[in-house]
Structure 1
Amino acid sequence: MSSYVQSIRARIGQDFLLLPGVTAVIRDGERFLLARHAHSGLWSLIGGGVEPGEDPADAVDREVFEETGARIRITGVIGAYGGEPLAVTYPNGDQVGYVTIAYECELLSEATPDLDEIIELGWFPREVISALPRRDWIDRVIQDAPGDAGR
C-alpha cells in the first residue's frame, strides 16, 4: 500500500475508495502473461495503482518491474475499464474500486514473480484463460486485445 493510500485509509478506514490503476497486457503471439496473486490465489493481468503525480504509462512500467523484475515497451492502449468487476475487498477488509487503463505491452526481459504480491506467472492462450480461477474482469480486456494477425 502506498503512503498516499495509507494517508487516506487513516481518515476513512476500510470504506470504499476509488483509485486509478494500470494494467499490462503482455503477449507472446496469442498467449497472454498472467500472474497469480498471493492475497487471492486468482490469476489476473499484471498491474496496480497510479501514484500521485505519476504518468499512467510510467505506472504500468513500474508495476511490471516491481512485480516481475521485467522491463516492457508499451505498444498501444487497449482501453479503460472500471465498475463493479474491478471492485475488491482485500483480506484486511479494505474496499477498493479501480478504474484502469489497459496497455498493450511487449516484454523486453525475463519475468519472474516477486513472491510477495505475485506467486506465479504463466503464459496462457485465450481459450484456456476462461477456465482458470481468475479475476473475471480480465476477460473483457483480453477480448478487446487485438488479435495476432499482422504481427
Structure 2
Amino acid sequence: MGYIEELRKVIGTRAIILVGAVVGVINEQGEILLQKRPEGIWALPGGLLELGESAEEAGKREVFEETGVEIGHLQLVDVFSGEQYFRKLENGDEFYPVTIVYTSNNIKSSNIKVDGVESLAAGFFPIRELPDETSPLVLKLIQKLNIGQ
C-alpha cells in the first residue's frame, strides 16, 4: 500500500494537497511524448511523488513506468497550482494538486512500452497534430514554451 492510500485511511476523503511531476519529453523531430490514460485523455507522463523522492526523480520514474522511455536531464518549466485545479474523484477523495512541469530532450531509450493499466497507449506526436482528447495541461505547456507555433 502506498503513501496516499495510507494517508486516506487516516483522513478519509478530506481535501489534501498532492505534489506531482509531469514531463514534456520532446524528441529530435520536435514531437512530444503523450500517454493515453484509462479515462481516455492523452496527457504528459507523470504522477505523484513518493516519500523521500525528489520531483526530478519522480518525473523520470513516472515517464519510464508509464511509457518505457528513459530520460536524463530535466528542465523546469513551471509549477501549476491553485483553486482552478481542485479535483474531486468519483470515490469522493478531494485534492489540490501542485504539478511541477518539466521538459526533457535527453532521451536515453525511446522504446515505448505501456503497462495497460496507467497507460493504454503512448507515442510521440507532432505538436500540430495532437489527438482531440489532449489534456489542457499539455496545451498550456506547448503555449508556454512557444513550440510548434
Tell me the TM-score normalized by structure 1.
Answer: 0.83
- Counting only pairs closer than 5 Å after superposition, residues 22-41 of structure 1 correspond to structure 2 as 22-28=21-27, 29-38=29-38, 40-41=39-40
Kindly indicate whether the alpha-carbon contact (under 8 Å) linking 1:104 and 1:145 is maintained by their aligned counterparts in 2.
Answer: no
Kindly indicate whether the alpha-carbon contact (under 8 Å) linking 1:61 and 1:71 is maintained by their aligned counterparts in 2.
Answer: yes
Kindly indicate whether the alpha-carbon contact (under 8 Å) linking 1:36 and 1:42 is maintained by their aligned counterparts in 2.
Answer: yes
What's the CA shift for 1:84? 4.4
What's the CA shift for 1:13? 1.6
Q: Distance in 1 between matches of 2:114 and 2:90?
A: 21
What's the CA shift for 1:125? 2.3
- Counting only pairs closer than 5 Å after superposition, residues 70-109 of structure 1 correspond to structure 2 as 70-105=69-104, 106-109=106-109
What's the CA shift for 1:142? 1.9
Query: Hey, which bits of structure 1, 4+ residues long, moved more than 4 A?
Result: none
Structure with a larger share of its residues in strand: 1
* TM-align CA RMSD: 2.1
Tell me which residue corresponds to 2:54. Answer: 55
Kindly indicate whether the alpha-carbon contact (under 8 Å) linking 2:35 and 2:66 is maintained by their aligned counterparts in 1.
Answer: no
The answer to which of 51-60 and 118-127 deviates more is 118-127
Identity value in percent: 30
The answer to which of 53-62 and 101-110 deviates more is 101-110
Q: Distance in 2 between matches of 1:78 and 1:145?
A: 8
Q: Distance in 2 between matches of 1:79 and 1:70?
A: 22
What's the CA shift for 1:98? 1.5
1:95-115 CA-partner distances (Å, limit 9, x unpaired): 232211111113221122111
1:16-38 CA-partner distances (Å, limit 9, x unpaired): 22111101111123211111101
Tell me which residue corresponds to 1:21. Answer: 20
Q: Which amino acid is the alignment partner of residue 142 of structure 1?
A: I
What runs of 5+ residues in structure 1 fail to find an aligned partner?
A: none
Tell me which residue corresponds to 1:117. Answer: 118
What's the CA shift for 1:146? 5.6
Q: Distance in 1 between matches of 2:26 and 2:78?
A: 16
The answer to which of 50-59 and 87-96 deviates more is 87-96
